[in-house]
Amino acid sequence: MDSGGVHETSWPEEYATGRLAAEQRVQFESHLVGCPECLDRVEAAERMQAGFHELERRRPAAAPAPLQRRLRPRWATRGAWAVAAAAAVAVAFWSGAQRSRGAERALAAEREALARTEAELARAQTALERARRPPEATPPAPARAVGRIPVLALMTTRGGELPGLVLPPAGQPVALWIEREMPLRFDRYHVTVRPEQGSAVFDDEVTPATRDALLVAIDASLLPPGRYTLSLEGESRDGRRTPIARHAFRTLPGPVR
């Protein structure tokens, strides 16, 4: 007999009261090991039987046997056992219902926790996608047309005419091409451009543009027509500067448009 068939019998109550046949008793005991429902029914029947025994013990002295047999016919004894069995079944049913309700409450709690977890995951996913989304780029300003950039080469020479740079229209750059020292000793330089009078119009660090030269771009509006001096210093890794060269040049007004 399978587990479902055992549950439909009164074997648990018969087992508790010692009325189960030997063959069925062996089969039921094998089933009882893994069936909490039948175990509850057996325990309920045993408690019911113990209650009846306690009532019998406390009952006043019984009448003589013939009279007792007349007062308690055999159907009364069978009825008592039937009541006990029914009570045991009711207790087992109640225990099963309690477990079922407890399981339902646990399942509902798990579902609620799962819903909260899914909501948290959804919020985290949204935040992650927002963080991964590249920022909206600001539209670039319209490019301003730039004509040919004037370049002035400044090399270490002796004597000769002062090099000059014809200025382009205001707002456009000019480039100063500055020869590096030979042999090369520095990877970083400091360039300063000063007019004959006034403060520096350019004073900043510069890295080599090529192996042989540095390239400095300056807004033409900072170099009005006049004479200028460019100082080139090599900068060591500890920040010390070493003078390398001084170049004088002049700027000339460009053609009138």
Q: Does domain 151-252 have CATH number 1.10.10.10?
A: no
pLDDT for residue 150: 87
Q: Provide the percentage of residues in the chain whose pLDDT is more than 70.
A: 67
pLDDT for residue 247: 93
**Domain positions in the chain:** 3-132, 151-252
Give the span between the Cα atoms of 187 and 175, in whole angstroms.
Answer: 20
Paired tokens of 215: 């390239």
Q: For tokens 């210093």, what's the residue?
A: 233
**What are the residues facing 231 on neighbouring strands?**
192, 246
> What dihedral angle (degrees, nearest 10) is formed by the CA atoms of 14, 19, 24, 25?
90
pLDDT for residue 234: 95
Summarised one tens digit per residue, pLDDT across range 24-78 is 899 888 888 888 888 899 899 888 888 878 777 776 655 555 544 444 444 344 4
C-beta separation of 249 from 228 below 8 A: yes
The stretch 163-182 carries a mean pLDDT of: 89
DSSP state of 224: -
The stretch 1-24 carries a mean pLDDT of: 83
Summarised one tens digit per residue, pLDDT across range 72-110 is 444 344 455 454 455 554 545 555 555 555 656 666 666
pLDDT for residue 74: 47
| Exposure string for 64-79, b = 16+ CB within 10 A, e = fewer | eeeeeeeeeeeeeeee
Is 82 or 170 the better-scoring residue by pLDDT?
Answer: 170
Of the pLDDT bands very low, low, confident and very high (cuts 50, 70, 90), residue 127 is confident
- The answer to whether the Cα torsion of 91, 95, 101, 104 is positive or negative is negative
